[in-house]
């Protein structure tokens, strides 16, 4: 049985290899991506067994999603939906410093995930369930699938939640109550500063540490709160105690996927029984690795590669 189970939508990712308006791109690179499966790849590379649940279309793109995740060693329980296509994500680089992602996912196979797609035996054996705030935004049935997964995992299985607010999928007003509900049902929370403000609904809270503390003070708050701050690092509040994550100085070529990498690094060490400093060190290293490579997950490190980061940091210092 897998150590970790996760569920969500994974799409085919088409990205322009050249910089400029997308209509002038002469070709697009073909890959895949999805927040939960990105975390699954990260955890697998760090030595855990991971099960991913989702739906793909009965099309070549769906077979690409399935093959890629299986090829990474993930236990794939994907339903093939003959009534809808695999969703698409298109990544454009208008300037060398900006990445824009557009989704073609409304009505996709992945968005039709439903509670029947969640096998109870898989969850019963798991040591952790990882969910994101994307899945409940996809459809009513996908929201129910997330609820079913939490129920099937049971109170003894920790749940990690990456808020992952997606403005293309729902408004802050629609998202806030759903995300606040999931917040009270998770044990480990990953959020950006903007996502923390969305949950708190308090624009007055200023510093990142105050934000994290305010989250931790909410009724039903998870014991582990991780606030991600991009190139400025991350802070954590674990069992009421604040921590700072180390910051790596790397040459960032593609910011997408850093959050998923960070979650994978943190969760891998948490499941290994490591202390908070070690969890944050591996999380920060995985996040830094992710941004140094084009693609949402391809750059995620294996355990024996983590030390390579010191070389990148050293390069920067020269």
**Which C-beta is closer to ligand ATP: that of 35 or that of 142?**
35
CA distance 139 to 290: 29
Structure tokens at 269: 């060490």
- Decide: helix, strand or coil at residue 130: strand
CB of 262 to ligand ATP, least distance (A): 4
DSSP string over 49-71:
-EEEEEEEESSHHHHHHHHHHHH
> Which one-letter DSSP state was computed for residue 295?
S
Other beta carbons within 10 Å of 67: 12
Which member of 259, 295, 299, 301 binds ligand ATP (CB under 6 A)?
259
- Checking DSSP bridges between strand 224-228 and strand 234-238, what pairing results, if any? antiparallel
Nearest to 161 by CA among 10, 283, 39, 3: 39
Binding to ligand ATP (CB under 6 A): which residues in 218-257? 228-231, 233-234, 245, 248, 250, 252, 255-257
**By CB under 6 A, is residue 124 in contact with ligand ATP?**
no
CA distance 138 to 191: 19
Which member of 132, 192, 224, 294 binds ligand ATP (CB under 6 A)?
192
Stretch that binds ligand ATP, among 73-81, 147-155, 178-186, 282-290 (CB under 6 A): 282-290
CB of 302 to ligand ATP, least distance (A): 17
- Checking DSSP bridges between strand 50-57 and strand 4-7, what pairing results, if any? parallel
Structure tokens at 142: 């996908």
Other beta carbons within 10 Å of 97: 9
CB of 228 to ligand ATP, least distance (A): 3
**By CB under 6 A, is residue 211 in contact with ligand ATP?**
no
**By CB under 6 A, is residue 198 in contact with ligand ATP?**
no
**Which C-beta is closer to ligand ATP: that of 119 or that of 230?**
230
**Which C-beta is closer to ligand ATP: that of 133 or that of 257?**
257
210 tagged catalytic? no
Site of tokens 């010191």: 310
24, 92 in Cβ contact below 8 A? no
Which member of 56, 146, 268, 291 binds ligand ATP (CB under 6 A)?
291
CA distances, 59 to each of 12, 82, 199 (Å): 11, 9, 38
Please provide residue 317's backbone torsions phi and psi, each rounded to the nearest 5 degrees: -75, -25
**By CB under 6 A, is residue 258 in contact with ligand ATP?**
yes
Active-site residue, selected from the candidate residues 58, 260, 275, 315 = 260
Which member of 262, 266, 270, 297 binds ligand ATP (CB under 6 A)?
262
CB of 155 to ligand ATP, least distance (A): 28
**Which C-beta is closer to ligand ATP: that of 157 or that of 164?**
164
**By CB under 6 A, is residue 117 in contact with ligand ATP?**
no
List interacting residues with ligand ATP (CB under 6 A).
192, 228-231, 233-234, 245, 248, 250, 252, 255-260, 262, 284, 287-288, 291
**What are the catalytic residues?**
260
């Amino acid at each position: 049985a897998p150590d970790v189970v996760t569920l969500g939508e994974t799409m085919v990712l088409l990205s322009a290899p050249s910089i400029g308006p997308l209509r002038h791109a002469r070709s697009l690179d073909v890959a895949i991506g999805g927040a939960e499966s990105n975390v699954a790849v990260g955890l697998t590379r760090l030595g855990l067994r991971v099960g991913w649940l989702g739906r793909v279309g009965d099309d070549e793109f769906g077979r690409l999603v399935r093959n890629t995740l299986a090829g990474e060693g993930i236990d794939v329980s994907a339903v093939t939906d003959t009534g809808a296509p695999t969703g698409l994500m298109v990544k454009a680089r208008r300037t060398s410093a900006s990445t824009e992602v557009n989704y073609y996912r409304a009505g996709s196979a992945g968005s039709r995930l439903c509670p029947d797609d969640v096998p109870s035996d898989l969850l019963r054996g798991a040591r952790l369930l990882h969910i994101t705030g994307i899945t409940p935004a996809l459809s009513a049935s996908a929201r129910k699938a997330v609820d079913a997964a939490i129920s099937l995992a049971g109170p003894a299985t920790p749940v990690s939640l990456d808020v992952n607010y997606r403005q293309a999928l729902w408004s802050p007003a629609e998202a806030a109550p759903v995300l606040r509900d999931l917040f009270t049902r998770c044990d480990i929370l990953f959020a950006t500063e903007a996502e923390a403000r969305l949950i708190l609904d308090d624009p007055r809270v200023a510093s990142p540490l105050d934000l994290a503390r305010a989250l931790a003070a909410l009724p039903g708050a998870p014991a582990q709160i991780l606030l991600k701050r991009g190139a400025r690092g991350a802070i954590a509040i674990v069992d009421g105690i604040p921590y700072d994550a180390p910051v790596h100085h790397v040459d960032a070529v593609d910011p997408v996927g850093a959050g998923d990498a960070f979650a994978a690094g943190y969760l891998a060490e948490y499941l290994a029984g490591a202390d908070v400093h070690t969890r944050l060190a591996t999380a920060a290293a995985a996040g830094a690795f992710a941004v140094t490579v084009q693609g949402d997950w391809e750059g995620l490190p294996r355990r024996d590669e983590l030390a390579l980061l010191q070389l990148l940091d050293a390069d920067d210092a020269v």
